[in-house]
A and B are shown apart, each in its own frame.
Chain A
Amino acid sequence: MNNKNSKPKLINDFLYGILRGNPVLVLMIGLCPVLAISTTIFNAIGMSIAFLFVLFFSNLFISMLRKFIPEQIRIPIFIIIISTFVTIIDYLIKALSPELQKQLGVFIPLIVVNCIIIGRAEAFAYRNSIISSVLDSFGTGIGFFIVLFLISFIREFLGRGTLFNHIIFKKPSLFMMLPPGGFITIGLLMGILTYFNLRKKYNKKKRSVNIEK
């Protein structure tokens, strides 16, 4: 057994969301919060925690109840389950950190229509066991966090000249803090990712041609 499928299924479930099925960079879903709140690392971490909380509990409950949810009305039931946890995290953040609530604003209630969460519920949690679903939610949550962290790191560093609110350099470029900076950053990240993928494919092709010779 030397192919990729030799990994146990559970580890695969966990890794899928981080690498091959990264929700933001590969699947291109759930973009709204990624671009809107990635102006500082603090916001990015807060959003990721809220996101992981909702994803974890919605995946857990949906996979627990998957045998009782009738197929025809599954989407409204998913939405009710998701919106319950969105409301809980909304009020939790309001109580614990009003500052964060002010920064994230309308994007916390909007988690309820985040394509990633409904997508994972529909494509994974509804069809798989509880342990797999929980691992999948962690994998997807971490994949989401990595992208959000990268973007907010770049934007905070170039746009405010700070990292974790410590001043690194003066006279930063305001452009990166404004909405266009968000679009440019994610476009560049995707371009770099595509570049490396293309190069890997190209090298593989060249190698196989050499072997044939």
Chain B
Amino acid sequence: MINNEMNPILIFISACLINNILLIKFIGLCSFFGLSTNIKNSVGMGIAVTFVTVISTIISWLIYHLLLVPLDLVFLRTGTFILTIAALVQLEEMFIKKYLPPLYRAMGIYLPLITTNCAILGATFLNIDYSLNLYKSIIHGIGIAVGYTLAIILFAGLRERIQTAPVPKSLKGYPIAFFLASLMSLAFLGFKGLFGI
């Protein structure tokens, strides 16, 4: 379990590998299966998720600790966070389109999808649940995003290979993808115990 006393490097490794958000925690699976059919798509999604997670982690931490806690409105957490993320995604889309056109071309179509990506909302909730401070929340957010990118790119590589493999007819498509995910998840379980976490 991650807590505020942990070393930032350990928080990063724990969020990225040991408690990988997709394969161990099962958060954000819709996009994991939906967008991992080729490596190009998964790289775009990975960049977009990393970008939005880091920024929304900061904003949601500030909103929670500077606005909701002093005003005793903690029960509004779910609604505020999702609306903040939705607004943020819109803002970022406009900003990137104007100032960073190459990046926009790389992740343009994935940005709107991110609003309802559980991984980002999950990251903001976990930061609050683990009661991390701002600096460690950011590290934790980056760890989750890097773990997400790593898992989705690896998985897309595997799925590209499996398309040419002789798979039984009834397992083609999604069932075999689940089997692959299971094997990957087993591999990630191997990280458990690393550095005594």
Contact = CB atoms under 8 A, between A and B. Distances in A.
B186 to A, nearest CB: 4
A30 B24 contact: no
User: Chain B interface mostly helix, strand, loop or mixed?
Assistant: helix
Contact of A183 (B77, B116, B182): B182
Contacts of B174: 28, 187, 190
B71 to A, nearest CB: 16
B28 interface: yes
Contacts of A29: 30
Nearest to B90: A76
A180 B78 contact: no
A139 B77 CA distance: 30
Interface in A179-196: 179-184, 186-188, 190-192, 194-195
Interface in B143-191: 168-179, 181-183, 185-186, 189
Nearest to B27: A32
A10 interface: no
A80 B126 contact: no
Contact of A191 (B77, B86, B129, B171): B171
Interface stretch (B9-17, B45-53, B117-125): B117-125
A87 interface: yes
B118 A113 contact: yes
A30 to B, nearest CB: 7
A72 B43 CA distance: 30
A79 B122 contact: no
B196 interface: no
Given A79-B86, A187-B176, A191-B171, A106 B122 contact: yes
Most buried by B among A118, A179, A186, A192: A179
A80 B83 contact: yes
Contact of B79 (A84, A106, A198): A84
B129 A106 contact: yes
B30 A32 contact: yes
B63 interface: no
A80 B79 contact: yes
A183 B178 contact: yes
B189 A179 contact: yes
B23 interface: yes
Contacts of B82: 79, 83, 112-113
Nearest to B85: A113
A118 B27 CA distance: 17
Nearest to A109: B78
Given A83-B78, A86-B78, A187-B175, A106 B29 contact: no
Interface of B: 23-30, 33-34, 75-79, 82-83, 86, 116-118, 121-122, 125-126, 129, 168-179, 181-183, 185-186, 189
19 contacts: A31-B30, A32-B27, A32-B30, A106-B126, A110-B118, A110-B122, A112-B79, A112-B121, A178-B186, A179-B189, A180-B182, A180-B185, A183-B179, A187-B174, A191-B170, A191-B171, A195-B170, A198-B169, A198-B170
